Amino acid sequence: MTKITVMRQNGITQPCLNPKCFHWVFEKTDGHVACDRCGEPRPLRDGEVEGQYPRAGQEFSDRMGNLPRYSFWYKDGGGVLRVPDTTGKWFEADDATVLMEEAQNEINTLRARLAQYEPQGKPSNE
């Protein structure tokens, strides 16, 4: 089993064909491609190609999209119940914090490397 994305040739990631799913990561097993979340088969259409997962340059976004999501339901008799829900808007703050710290560390490392190449001092007019 290999995880892939389905992309148009212009690089835009395509979603699952199930109208209730909206997921965009697929599993490829023995030449068959199916949605990683709902299992819906996903044949390639004209102009679509297989793409890598995680997507180049989108690694942190892809990891964020894979965090478990939750919704909250009111319980009979009062109170609130947290339930796993792929369309939910809530996820564990600790998981998101770890991900954002890793992304910020990479940004800071790249900024420091870039600063090494910036010119020092004032340019001369000669």
Residue 77, Cβ density class (10 Å: 0-12 exposed, 13-18 middle, ≥19 buried): exposed
* pLDDT tens, per residue, the chain with 126 residues: 899 999 998 889 999 999 988 889 999 999 899 999 999 999 999 999 999 999 988 999 999 988 999 999 999 989 999 999 988 889 999 999 999 999 999 999 999 999 999 887 776 676
Res 98: pLDDT: 94
Q: pLDDT (tens digit, 9 = 90+) per residue, 2-22?
A: 999 999 988 899 999 999 888
Q: Where are the domains of the chain?
A: 2-53, 60-115
Q: Of 32, 18, 100, whose CA–CA distance to 61 is shortest?
A: 100
Res 109: pLDDT: 96
